[in-house]
Amino acid sequence: MRSGVITGGVLVSGLALVAAMPAVAAERQVLPADVVPLHYDVAIMPDAAALSFSGEVGTDVQVATTTGRIVVNAADLVLDSATLDGKTPLTIAIDKAAETATLTAPGMIAPGRHRVTIRWHGAISKFTSGFFALDYDDAAGTKKRMIATKFEPAAARRFMPLWDEPARKASYTLTADVPATDLALSNTPVAKEVTLPGGRKRVTFAKTPKMSSYLLFFASGDLERLSRKDGKVEVGIVTRRGVASRGQEALDTAVQLLPYYNSYFGAEYPIAKLDLIAGPGSGSFSAMENWGAIFFFENALLLDPASITESARQQIYSVVAHEMAHQWFGNLVTMDWWNDLWLNEGFASWMATTATSRFHPEWKPWLGSQIDRAGAMRLDALPGTHPVIQDVASGPAANQAFDGITYGKGEAVIRMLEAYVGAMPFQRGVQAYMAAHAYGNTVNDDLWTSIEAASGQPVAAIAADFLGQAGVPLVNVAGGGPVSQGRFSFDPAATAGRWTLPLTIRPLAGGSGQPWLMTAATTRLPTAAPTLVNAGQAAYARVSYAAPAYAPVLAAFPSLPAADQIGLLSDAWALGQAGKGPAARALELARALPADADPLAWTQALSAIGETTGLEAGTPGDAAWQGWVRATVAAPFARLGWTAKPGESANDAILREALIYTLGRADEPTVLVEAKRRFAGWQRDRASLPAALVDPVLILAGRNADAATFAMFRSAAKAEADPERKAALYAYMAGVRDPALAAEMLTIATGGEAPPARAARLVAQVARVHPDLAWTHALATLPAVAPNLDLRQRFQYLPSVASGSASAARADELHAIAARDFPEGSRRFADQAEAGIRQRARLKQTMLPKVDRWIASSGR
């Protein structure tokens, strides 16, 4: 699954939805092991208009020991009847808190194979978990409804009674009764279709492979499909009717990646079709890797020709590559329990970057992954961080595990280990792992056992250090060769750490890199010459250079490889924030960056600049800071300009977007005037603005909107039938600087005018500019927003609104709400947001004065 922007929600005291998230117990909550499923025959009868459905499932089970009961997962379902072997009635007892149903026989059930048949009915929800509905307007303005499922981590139990745990793998045959004009979809191709009375049809899908319950999928609606055959597999793009052409690039990507993945993993994709399915709207995730039927929200799969940007094109390639990698790593071989979720997500993220590098080396995706890694390191340095491998007590509790550490740190550690053992031995280990565990479940050590056998390197010991303990290694480099390691943290109370750390060192004077495994707390570099530590930046670590060692690094910085420029910028910024290095060192490096440096090096510099801009807003040093930004960023923007040049790189186009926004945010007059001119042309004729400039120009127009411009955006959003274009127009409005218009935008977001599923996201976007205003509004309107929040969003929404604040008082408020209203085990996002707010408050007090003094004395 690809996690989305945190826009989820949380409930204040007294809201009934809190009860839907059970508290985490000290011990793992799993079903009894005496009865296991083998195969499910599922028949469902959805009524999309009434938001209800009924179903019947016949499950073939294996009973290991004599028992009088069978326990399955079921949540928010009404179980109407249950029988054993087609004749023996079973008594049904529901435990809502445990999300289980106990089926008790009148006598004992003998060991062996049996069939359990259950009939039930339930509701189709309006939030994007379990079995849900997506409402939208078609091009003619007609109201439409698509129904679909999303079961990870533990929501299949809201669709049918079953064994809803990743290790309880079974096969499925699904039949659905749907309107005759609908396109129905599941994991496998349609095996049979029968016309029913009343304008309906019965669709039966082919039997699935043996798989985990969270991978089951069903959808139906007024949909269309583009497809192409790739060998034995039909690859398809499925969308709401009328927009399938927007998925052409995603279809091309999937067809390109499928044979590559077959080869890399040494295992053929096992299903006769692979659909990429786009749903309108948004949720707490971007995409879900259902086997053979990957579900995406439209903005993660489709490219709108009216506003295609290079950044969107690359992001969609990456998301498709991530979800397709899951078809092997996660679907074919699945973690045994949710504590090893990183085996799914970290590996899929790494594999996506590997595949993108294979087919689009010009995008330099490994440099982009370095920038993403900095986000994981930031989380890993805050109070309350957690190891990659984490204790998860129940399926619902796994909702808290989908964070930047699981994805970002997981990917970074895999990259480090692949660099350490070599690409070919690593691939051989992965192939052996796939062959040994296909259609089964694994734990963390199984992967390292295979890679150790293939490489002969002590991978397990290194992996244990990085996956089993929280925190970021910090390598301290003094002049003359001494080095020591410790833990980088923003938390003064953080415990010390020590890692088996595979590094590459390279003389600054030139030459090739040398592998170096650092195991001791204090040691010496193999050379006393000025040296770049973590050259190539493959290690998950930060490096701090004392002044004598830093001087030659700064001198060499303009000519270093882009990977090292990015790493040095990232490390300097983080060390300055933590008070472990000069506060302005990252700004010094940004100033030393050549105008024609790699666009991704400039992207890293702009990240530090953007964060400081947010901290400086409204402070006495703000004007001087903005002047420094304009002066520093002028040179790369002068090189790129507003118009794409023949032969420029794709990443130049992305940098142009970021530079326009950065300079516009710094109130650069020439940029604001030109953006205003281009926006005026767009108002007269939308085709007048190149698609690649729509986002930056309209972001600035929304940010600087007066009442008339805001009203224009609002009118355009109301009139727009296309759901994604409508959402984009409201998003431009959400960045407005004018406080009165921002208050109006908050009312639009939560008052029913904007799509209800977008409300949480829009409030969080307003909070980036007006944190206090948005926070007050979010608390006041929470009862209206809460019904549209899915299981994960419920405990993300308020943290996401609060997270942009730099007020310790806001952190205190969030802490009190989470302690009072969030069940134990559901507070991770609140804890992370609280820690981030306190960090920002500290930076305003400690770091900004140093930055201001540096700018006043030497920064210009």
What is the distance between the alpha carbons of residues 120 and 629, in angstroms, rounded to a whole number?
A: 62
Please check the confidence at residue 599 and state whether its pLDDT lies above 60: yes
Cβ proximity of 543 and 475 under 8 Å: yes
Give, for 629, the enclosing helix (H) or strand (E): helix 622-640
Token pair belonging to 34: 């005496």
Question: How far, CA to CA in Å, does 427 sit from each of 21, 60, 266, 322?
Answer: 40, 37, 9, 17
Token pair belonging to 430: 């992965």
| Amino acid letter for position 275 | D
Q: Where are the domains of the chain?
A: 339-470, 476-545
Query: For residue 707, is it left (φ>0), alpha (ψ between -120 and 50) or beta?
Result: alpha
Token pair belonging to 449: 């056992």
Out of 10-14, 599-603, 757-761, pick the least confident: 10-14
Query: In the chain, pLDDT over 70 holds for what percent of residues?
Result: 97
Please check the confidence at residue 5 and state whether its pLDDT lies above 70: no
pLDDT tens for 186-205 read 999 999 999 999 999 999 99
Among candidate residues 498, 478, 479, 477, the one with its CA nearest the CA of residue 487: 498
Give, for 423, the enclosing helix (H) or strand (E): helix 423-437
pLDDT tens for 400-432 read 888 889 999 999 999 999 999 999 999 999 999
Out of 138-142, 231-235, 736-740, pick the least confident: 138-142
- Summarize the confidence of residues 796-817 as an average pLDDT: 95
Among candidate residues 545, 572, 432, the one with its CA nearest the CA of residue 482: 545
Q: How far is CA 555 from the centre of its chain?
A: 38
Token pair belonging to 160: 């049918």
The three state secondary structure string of 205-247 is ECCCCCECHHHCCEEEECEEEEEEEECCEEEEEEEECCCHHHH
Helix spans in 533-621 (H): 547-556, 562-578, 585-592, 599-616
pLDDT tens for 51-79 read 999 999 999 999 999 999 999 999 999 99
What is the distance between the alpha carbons of residues 133 and 46, in angstroms, rounded to a whole number?
A: 11
Residue 423, burial from CB neighbour count under 10 angstroms (0-12, 13-18, 19+) = exposed
User: pLDDT confidence of 12, banded at 50, 70, 90?
Assistant: very low
Domain 476-545 adopts which CATH fold? Immunoglobulin-like (2.60.40)
Strand partners, 95: 100
What is the distance between the alpha carbons of residues 497 and 730, in angstroms, rounded to a whole number?
A: 46
pLDDT tens for 436-486 read 999 999 999 999 999 999 999 999 999 999 999 999 999 999 977 789 999
Q: What is the dihedral of CA 323, 328, 334, 338, to 10 degrees?
A: -20
User: pLDDT confidence of 4, banded at 50, 70, 90?
Assistant: low
User: pLDDT confidence of 860, banded at 50, 70, 90?
Assistant: low
Residues annotated as catalytic are: 323
Residue 714 CB-half CA count within 13 A:
18
- Summarize the confidence of residues 280-300 as an average pLDDT: 93
Please check the confidence at residue 21 and state whether its pLDDT lies above 50: no
Rg (CA), the chain: 27
Residue 424, burial from CB neighbour count under 10 angstroms (0-12, 13-18, 19+) = exposed
Out of 4-13, 371-380, 573-582, pick the least confident: 4-13
Q: Which residues of 630-651 are buried (b: 16+ CB within 10 A; e: fewer)?
A: bebbbebbebbebeeeeeeebb
Query: In the chain, pLDDT over 90 holds for what percent of residues?
Result: 86
| Amino acid letter for position 267 | A
pLDDT score of 606: 96
Cβ proximity of 441 and 456 under 8 Å: no
Please check the confidence at residue 8 and state whether its pLDDT lies above 80: no
pLDDT score of 282: 84
What is the distance between the alpha carbons of residues 386 and 382, in angstroms, rounded to a whole number?
A: 10
pLDDT score of 19: 31
Average model confidence (pLDDT) for the chain?
93
pLDDT tens for 723-742 read 999 999 999 999 999 999 99
Cβ proximity of 172 and 39 under 8 Å: yes
User: pLDDT confidence of 859, banded at 50, 70, 90?
Assistant: low
The domain 339-470: what is its CATH number?
Answer: 1.10.390.10
Question: How far, CA to CA in Å, does 71 sit from each of 95, 96, 101, 131?
Answer: 10, 13, 6, 22
Q: How far is CA 591 from the centre of its chain?
A: 32
Cβ proximity of 235 and 293 under 8 Å: no
pLDDT score of 573: 96
Whether the CA torsion 343, 345, 346, 352 is positive or negative: it is: positive
Cβ proximity of 350 and 538 under 8 Å: no
What is the distance between the alpha carbons of residues 475 and 485, in angstroms, rounded to a whole number?
A: 5
Please check the confidence at residue 639 and state whether its pLDDT lies above 50: yes
| Residue 287: other Cβ atoms inside 10 A | 26
Cβ proximity of 118 and 81 under 8 Å: yes
What is the distance between the alpha carbons of residues 239 and 251, in angstroms, rounded to a whole number?
A: 12
* Chain length of the chain: 860
User: pLDDT confidence of 6, banded at 50, 70, 90?
Assistant: very low
What is the distance between the alpha carbons of residues 709 and 733, in angstroms, rounded to a whole number?
A: 9
What is the distance between the alpha carbons of residues 729 and 721, in angstroms, rounded to a whole number?
A: 12
Token pair belonging to 382: 């805050």
What is the distance between the alpha carbons of residues 157 and 732, in angstroms, rounded to a whole number?
A: 38
Please check the confidence at residue 25 and state whether its pLDDT lies above 50: no
What is the distance between the alpha carbons of residues 250 and 552, in angstroms, rounded to a whole number?
A: 46
